[in-house]
């Protein structure tokens, strides 16, 4: 069984490092980390993730723009994007049925189980 490929885009290096370690320790995921928004599209084109976990608020380019760049690429069509952000609270996410800016969203801080559940729910299934 192949591992799901997760592209994690967030400018918080300590957060991304810890989340990468925790996800990969499950043995179910291969995680690529990008800490600069402008590096997300090239990484997605090369890595072909099954899901993108994307922060909304980052320096130099907001996550919504990153999502639009990824979605505009024919070779990335259908790649699920889940916002993982402190820009909205859990209550706001819950009030919007888990959708913010037309994408599934997880409010930070989030526990590992919540993040894994979102990955399993939204990750593209490869054949």
- 37 burial type by CB count under 10 A (0-12 exposed, 13-18 middle, 19+ buried): buried
Determine the pLDDT at residue 49: 97
| Nearest one of 60, 49, 59, 58 to 82, comparing CA atoms | 49
Overall domain count for the chain: 1
Q: Could you tell me the pTM of the whole model?
A: 0.91
Q: Is residue 46 part of a domain?
A: yes
Strand partners, 7: 32, 52
Tokens of residue 103, six digits? 């994408």
Residue with structure tokens 């499950």? 26
Q: Find the domain containing 72 and state its range.
A: 4-122
Examine residue 127 and state whether it is found in any structural domain, yes or no. Answer: no
Place 127 in a pLDDT band, splitting at 50, 70 and 90.
very low
Q: What pLDDT does 103 receive?
A: 80
Q: How is residue 113 written in tokens? A: 């189980």
Name the one residue in this structure whose structure tokens are 């930070």. Answer: 108
In a domain, 96, yes or no: yes
Cβ-proximal residues to 53 (8 Å cutoff; 6+ apart), any chain: 6, 7, 8, 9, 10, 19, 82, 84, 115, 118, 119
CATH number at residue 41: 3.40.50.2300
pLDDT tens for residues 55-87? 999 998 999 999 999 999 999 999 999 999 887
Strand partners of residue 33: 8
Report d(CA 15, CA 120) in Å as an integer. 20
The verdict on residue 63 lying in a domain is yes
């Amino acid at each position: 069984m192949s591992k799901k490929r997760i592209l994690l885009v967030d400018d918080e290096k300590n957060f991304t490092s810890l989340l990468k370690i925790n996800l990969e320790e499950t043995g179910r995921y291969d995680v690529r980390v990008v800490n600069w928004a402008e590096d997300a599209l090239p990484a997605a084109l090369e890595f072909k993730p099954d899901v993108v976990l994307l922060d909304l608020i980052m320096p130099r380019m907001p996550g919504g723009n990153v999502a639009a760049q990824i979605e505009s690429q024919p070779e990335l069509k259908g790649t699920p994007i889940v916002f993982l952000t402190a820009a909205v609270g859990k209550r706001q996410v819950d009030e919007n049925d888990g959708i913010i800016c037309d994408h599934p969203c997880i409010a930070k801080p989030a526990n590992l189980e919540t993040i894994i559940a979102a990955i399993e729910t939204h990750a593209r299934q490869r054949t």
